[in-house]
Amino acid sequence: MSIFQQPIATLAGEVTSLEPYRSKTLLLVNVASQCGLTPQYTGLEALQRKYEGQGFSVIGFPCNQFEGQEPGTAEQIQSFCSTTYGVTFPLMEKIEVNGAGQHPIYAELNKIADAEGYSGDIRWNFEKFLVARDGTVTRFPPEVIPEDPALVSAIEESLN
């Protein structure tokens, strides 16, 4: 089953899937509110605003698996993201990206290798997966910031 068919709830609790986004270029990111990388929300939102009119969307997947850095409720996460970073891109329910409780979307994504050849478990918050319209997936490690020229170039190529 593809990542687009897997059921997932939005942060507001509405059951959905990624199917409505199938025709778009997506940047899927496991996010956290109390992480040293949390300021990446600023860059993620900038990407959303710059490219959303061209068929692009960031989708955030809150995750509390890395040193408890996303402990909040859905309401707290939504409030933090919108108030602190002006986030307008979709946020899904808090999920596990590794281990026995791993969400099926991440069971598929974790099979993808990054440019250095790493595949497997998510290493930290803000690991990124660029899903092109043609279904090609490119993985970027957490340290790759949203403004990184390689990531921006990959987004722009997938939109053309």
**Residues designated as active site:** 35
Distance CA 136, CA 125 (A): 22
- DSSP tag of 54: G
Question: Shortest CA distance to 137 belongs to which of 122, 116, 121, 115?
Answer: 115
CA-based max dimension of the chain: 39
- DSSP tag of 104: H
Distance CA 150, CA 63 (A): 25
Q: Under DSSP, is residue 138 helix (H, G, I), strand (E, B) or coil?
A: strand
